[in-house]
Amino acid sequence: MVKVPVKPFRNDAARISSAYAWKFSNLLLLLKSCQIPETAGAFVGVNISTDLSNLPSPEQVVAILISHRKTHVRLYDADNHLLSALSDAGIEVMVSVTNEDVLRIGQSSAAAAYWVKKNVAAFVPATNITAIAVGSEVLSIMPHAARVLAPAMRNLHKALASSNLNYLIKVSTPISMDIIPKPFPPSAATFNTSWNSTISGILDFLKSTNSFFMLNTYPYYGYLQRYFPYRIRAFLTADTCQTNS
């Protein structure tokens, strides 16, 4: 992956006055305390939705990300203003196809080509887009779109290939933990059999394109639902964590 040099920004973050900007900044401070060393091959990123009120300007959002040394973001859409602001920011960006667009892109290679042209090709390489998330938990939220999910991924990959971007940008889809009815123990976990053909098509695509599998795990919810045995839950109690800190 190409690393884009950091572009200097004005000190806009200091002038952000909206309540949301304050919460956004403090959320990043919270994340900073649990950041994983890069040597571990992992990172803590930030999910950004533009479907909110009182959101800081794109330039202010990027300034906050840079000030807190965030190097990875996932956009829940492909907001062009934010993609422009992320130009030369030194941040790896995952853009998303909305669930509403999955049906259209899955049924039309032309629609996929237009989406890539408008939301990806128009911004690279200045904006370091490294992945496309096709929908979000489509199988759980829009089960009627399951039949076109893998085709949508294939159409987008073909569109990337036409622009010579398929080796730089991966295509995947975030899956809900709902498709794994009994996740514990992991060695015995299986996908919901009603989605076998769909999951098989997704996995075949990911393997053929050397992409990654995305799973929204929400481990805390699993803890609340008692997926984990007592001894593991006991280890996660406040007293135990404090003792082992």
Instruction: Specify the higher pLDDT residue, 196 or 16.
Output: 196
pLDDT-derived band of residue 76, with 50, 70 and 90 as boundaries?
A: very high
Instruction: Specify the higher pLDDT residue, 3 or 204.
Output: 204
Query: Is residue 135's pLDDT more than 50?
Result: yes
Express each pLDDT in 196-220 by its tens digit. Answer: 899 999 999 999 999 999 988 776 6
Rounded CA-CA distance 42/38 in Å is: 6
CA nearest neighbour of 121 among 103, 95, 153: 95
Instruction: Specify the higher pLDDT residue, 228 or 138.
Output: 138
Query: Can you give the pLDDT at residue 227?
Result: 57
| Torsion angles phi and psi, residue 132, rounded to 5 | -125, 125
Query: Can you give the pLDDT at residue 225?
Result: 63
Strands (E), the chain: 46-48, 72-75, 92-97, 129-134, 170-172, 174-176, 214-216
Query: Is residue 147's pLDDT more than 90?
Result: yes
Instruction: Specify the higher pLDDT residue, 190 or 153.
Output: 153
Domains (range + CATH), the chain: 12-244 (3.20.20.80)
pLDDT-derived band of residue 192, with 50, 70 and 90 as boundaries?
A: confident
Query: Can you give the pLDDT at residue 217?
Result: 79
**Angle, CA of 133, 136 and 228, to the nearest 5°:** 115
Q: Which of 58-67, 167-176, 228-237 has the lowest mean pLDDT?
A: 228-237
Express each pLDDT in 102-123 by its tens digit. Answer: 999 999 999 999 999 999 999 9
pLDDT, average across residues 41-46? 75
Rounded CA-CA distance 237/245 in Å is: 12
Query: Can you give the pLDDT at residue 228?
Result: 56
Total-model pTM = 0.76
Whole-number average pLDDT of the chain: 79
The top-scoring range by mean pLDDT among 54-58, 60-64, 222-226, 238-242 is 60-64
Rounded CA-CA distance 109/112 in Å is: 5
Query: Can you give the pLDDT at residue 10?
Result: 33
